[in-house]
Structure 1
Amino acid sequence: MQLGCSMCRQNNILCSLAAVCAEKIISYAGSVFAVSQEGSESSRAVLVGPYLAGVDPAKEPCKPLILATLGDGGSRSGVVAVDDIIFSESCLDAKLETIHDLCTYEDGSSSCPWTNDDDRPLQWSVIQGSEAGQNMALRRDHTTQDLSGHYLYLDSMPGHEGLSARYLSKVFQPGSCELVLWYYLGGSNADKLSIYTRQTIEGSLQLEWRKFSDGSRPTWKAAVVTFDQTSNFQIVIEGSAGSFTTSADHVGIDDMGFRVACDVAENAVLPRRREIHDQGRCGNHEYSCSDDTCQPKELFCDTKADCQDESDEAKCPLQCNFDDGLCHWTNDVTAGNSWINGTSYDKYGIMKDHTSKSDSTGLFLYIDVHGLPGYQSAQLVSPKWTLPPQQCRVSLWYYRFGANYGSLSIKVRPEGESDKDLLTLASSLGNFNQWLKVSAPIPNCISTAQILLTAQNSFGNLQHGGYAIDDVSLECDDTCPDHQCSDGGYCHTSSQVCDLTVDCCLDGSDEEHCEDYNTCSFDDGLCVWVQDEHMPWTRHDGVMKRATLEEEHGDIPNGNGAFLEAHFKEKSKGHKSTLHSYVIQPTTGGTCQLRFSYFVQSSTMLTVFIRHLNEEPEDHIWQNSGTDSWKKAEVTLSSDKQFKVMIEASSTSTKEGLVGFDSSSFTPSCDIAEEETSPISNSGR
């Protein structure tokens, strides 16, 4: 009989443990198979195994025996067969005295060369079995197996949801070593125990080992973790609380040490961060790659790998699936709540994460309102990127669970500027309990920026619901898909030409030679537009100190320029304000377009109609019923008869509401009709 790695791979057990045990199988007294014949007397076969640590590792290791007793002297035949012997994760085969830097916690933590991370919200503590029993944790430690023993303990209490404690090793030299420990996870919401390595204090954590709580009765289990590092490193052991913690959720560690010792880097401390700029090796305008080559500063975090080892993009990865942490994204501590890294098998009916489609190991981020104060938000902030001139967009997969929560928004934070909305998923969405993809383009003329992902609870009372996100990415085009600015830098599309918004940031060439476009910024009046006198629009300058769009939202397309506003007071449901364009010649080629900026509060609606000769307006060709921020629209106009464009703002509820309209632009194909074949009325519907 042979036990080796091929066998342990087939049986899906921990090969490094089983193989070590297999090498020490000593001998067999008797056969693997023993057969008694009719009428034979009793006989025995004994199978002797390798040295294994016993239940009590303080005692000498022992050899397991498999004893087969064959027959009882009677007249029956009998067979006993033994096959496929598998050693569990508990087959730690070394004597306790050979474990380096052993931590049994019987004298507290004074002799244990590990320390708590004081910057974490939770802390590990040493607890005695008798105390643990009072807290509904395991009453017996692993070392002594009685109430007097001690072990390292993390208690997850209500209010600790999503928080964690970290236990830090000494700083070790590069090389290979092997950590052994006994652990338990108690309760369905103790969440997980993770072991990481790190090379810097503020750098990313490299996941080496992880176990999740499955809600079963806690028992001591063994783990062996192997490390192989090429630079000074530190081991970080993290215990994490779940999302609905109770007094019965616990994490324990005992009898921890190194079976193969790590070499301590005496008097060494980890640097706070990896210095990418080495003045002695690189120039003043260069940063250093991890392989000691130099690259210009502007090539770091610019969405493209320029270092041969790709280290220039290491701290700002373009994709994150959250399986190994947050990928240098951070929670905004001022938001009042945090995105939590969790697994799918026990969270709100989300059966699989999006990345791996796994129900046990895949991770994602989630936010849940249950048990938290109302109206709070959670905001995730990306690393800072230097964006290329080509079009970039943010994409992610989201999962909305529960019918009542709030909104999920994507924003961009340009360096030195206020946040700008890119996309908002409203709380009224009906599609929940499934993974869906969403993408939002980033405006031009933003050179350095961060991305913000915000989940906002819209309810004051406790509701069950929230959002999960996974597979977040920043995607940038390699080339300009449409037009390139005259300076050879930024890209823009044909729809951005002469739309009263500068998209060629360096030279403004997209807003030059616009004589054939009918544009209106409303700075000097209504231009080609005529309004219904019954309930007119109001023209406002952006500098006016009044509680209208420019003060409440501040994002006016033309900065301090003017815009049109339709203001509906309370109890004015059904009221309308309309604008009419000039008469436009028939056009069916799809090249006549109207571009404009708009703002629509949720209690109002903005609609675009085509109106023919003295006829009632046709069905609308564009409509929006709520943005709460300035947006841009592009509407294709098509008709085989002369027509006017009608812009209608309307109140859809009894609440007060506002509609804003600005920066209108007709493309050259929208030809002015020299003579109307029949007058077209300007009256409203």
Structure 2
Amino acid sequence: MSNGEKKQAVRFFYFSLNDASGRLTAQSRTLRSGSDDRVLWTREASQSYSWQRAEVTLSSAASSKIVFRYELGDGLRGLVALDDVSFSRDCVFDPDNSELPDLSSTSAPPSTSNTPTSPHLTSTAPINPCQDNEFFCWQSQGKVCILATLQCDYHLDCPQGEDEAGCGPCTFENDQCRWTDVSDGQSKWQRQRASNNTEPPTDHTADTGYYMRVNFSKGSTQSEAQLQSPPLSPSSPYCQIRFHFHISAESAGSLRVLMQQAGGSEAILWSRSHSTVSHWSPEHLPLGLHQQPYKVLFSGVNNAAASHVVAVDDISFLNCEKSYQPPALASFGCSFEDGLCAWVQGAEDQLDWLSGAGPTQTSNTGPAGDHTSSKGKYLYIESSSPSIKGDSAQLKSSLLPPAGEKGYCFSFWYHMFGATVGSLKMFLQTSDPLEKTLVWQKSGNQGDEWLQVQSHVNLQKVHQVVLEAAVGGEAGDIAIDDISLSPGACPVSDLCDFEDGSCNWEQQAAGDSEWIRHQGYTHNPYTGPESDHTTSTPTGHYFYLPSSSTDRAGQKAAMFSPLYPADKGSCVQLWYHMYGKGMGTLNVYQQSEDGKEALIFSQTGDQGLLWRFAQASLLPRLHPYRIVVEGVKAGPTQEGDMAIDDVQLTDDQCPPRGFCDFEDTMCSWSNLGEGVDQGDWLRGSGGSPNPHTGPSVDHTTNSTQGHYVYVDSFVGEWGVSSFLVSDVLQPSTRGHCLTFWYHMYGNHVGTLRVYINNRKMQAGGDEVGLLKWTETGNKGEKWQMANVSVTHDEAFWFVFVYQRGRMAGGDVALDDITIVPGSCYTEPPIDHSDNKGMIVGLAVGLIVLAGIIIFIVLVMLNQNHNKM
């Protein structure tokens, strides 16, 4: 048959029984001798026990015949059968059944082990002039011969690339490139041309070209079709497959990618079960090192009776040649000024990372500019509609080499600001075996600023870095910028996060108690942290003091920092974790060089299942000093594990304990968290981003540069609440006084309340506690002061709760919060900034009054003088 270079297709059904090791092939023959037979389709070793359908496409301008060939395997003899062989209408049959030409009457190259097996070989090629150990580039001009070992090595060596034809990469524009449907059921993969009457209506390559699509059997609620690659050559550890896929929107269909080893074992590399978009999406998957040939399969599954579309196009292989070596680490960095560099979008997600410059489109969330120059570009996820809570976006690096003896430092900058920020995570992923490890994460509002992450990577396998951001709500844009990789450990900083050791902190244990560097959960139940504070993952490190049933009350264990110069540091900061019914006391001392100690911080008892922030001012000194962290046991218990992390000295002065002006941080105040909190309190400055509501200046400095905390009333529905929680406070016979300044301005201001809570009330399901103060509605565009006196016989904490009004336009703010022992003043302190006008007015009045009195006296004197 011949078709004048049109596409041909042969269709047939085959049956096999007890022939698991046999091999059935369909081949194309254009020479009488059969020396040029080319394999078009292969049914590898299998047992189907039923009639199966196959379809093979080919392209040739020469007359040809189809040959079915069966090779007996090593197993038991079985049965193989063919039936219902048919050809497409493009095929032209020779009514005379003429003989095929011999070698001398054709210009096609003779078939040797070095000639290509691609079905799209045309008859215009000259006779093979190359030697036995060479491959003839028959589509290239002139005599071009390359080593036979270069065929199918993932690298184009022939000028026209014919040495890689039929070796795996395929656009499906001319044929299937030896990709074969190996489905067992009635659903089949078919090559289809794009048109307005098909879905998708365009292919990925050229809009009107070809792609592979699953033709699901009608009426079936569970059917699968498999598309198998030709045997793929051994590959480098950095090998990746790249393809584009299409799943109809809101489809019940799914697509899986599997890898089949030489021995027949299969592993799932990737799966996508639904799609929210109806366009072609790219994906890169690591294939890794292979010493033997292997195959890749695309599996399309229909999970409902309705018809759904699953399609693939433009399959290629990257960095797979055995000789491939990755570039220097620095080349994997990116500032996103000119695209994604060596990074790619993930496809196992619902969103894409977007390129941004300046503010994002949603107000009161996201950065105002990039990190690099404030005028450049960055990547971000858009959290507003149509995005919904839980949607995520992945950004994946190229495959990176093993980290080496000293590892490398992975650094990037992130921005997480908004009332409903979700999470940002960093994973390390390997392909052999296929594993994904969480190494860093943050969730919730982190402030309106760019923050840096530095992670020391020591993974001794080929791997890739994955950055994943998830939507928390409509005001939750997350941005990243300035990724860099450099050999060796990350630069030393004043922060000790215990990730690479103890930072030269030393132990002094009493008896068998000592602080332990640890990861993840502690060994005792109902106590200790679940993860560290630095990375918020089970792989991060911290130090903890374990509790035991043999502990003695008052038993101590201490950690000592290295000596610091006398002129270094004004404030020590750390994060501590004290959760458990048997919790003891955590003390922090400043110790002079001669051993004299001064207590600068102390906390006792259960502080809840969270990391808490502490800071303490350092005392003046003339000599070197160190910081001592001491744990004191409460007695025999296994519910008293305490932990510390992220210790550092700063040169800035600490605010007094119990006081927060929000100028630099949130101090020890924190948002209650997801599940109870429906929108975070945010740290801001200047005017509110929302019109006609909120403060224009802070209270501390009375300027636009000062800071305060506020609730964005444009986020969330009517009645939802935001919770701001203090540190845990110890009971005092004198009680405590809470003083704060609040700002409630706008047409739709809701209600601000102050509660006190304790463990007993919380255990009973009460997240807010006992109401102590409340204010509702618009109070004008001014800061006002309030104070609350409390007495308590057990540890407690304050909770500010703001409940939104019926409409947007009701921002509320807090500033200059103070908690001190003792009762509050019966009369509120005078705000001198508000009384300046009154003082001036009083002075003017007194002057005027004095002038009047003087005038009357002068008049009376004058009258007396006249009488005389």
Which interval holds the TM-score relative to the shorter structure?
0.3 to 0.5
TM-score by length of 2: 0.30
Answer with 1 or 2: which has the greater Rg. Answer: 2
TM-score scaled by structure 1? 0.37
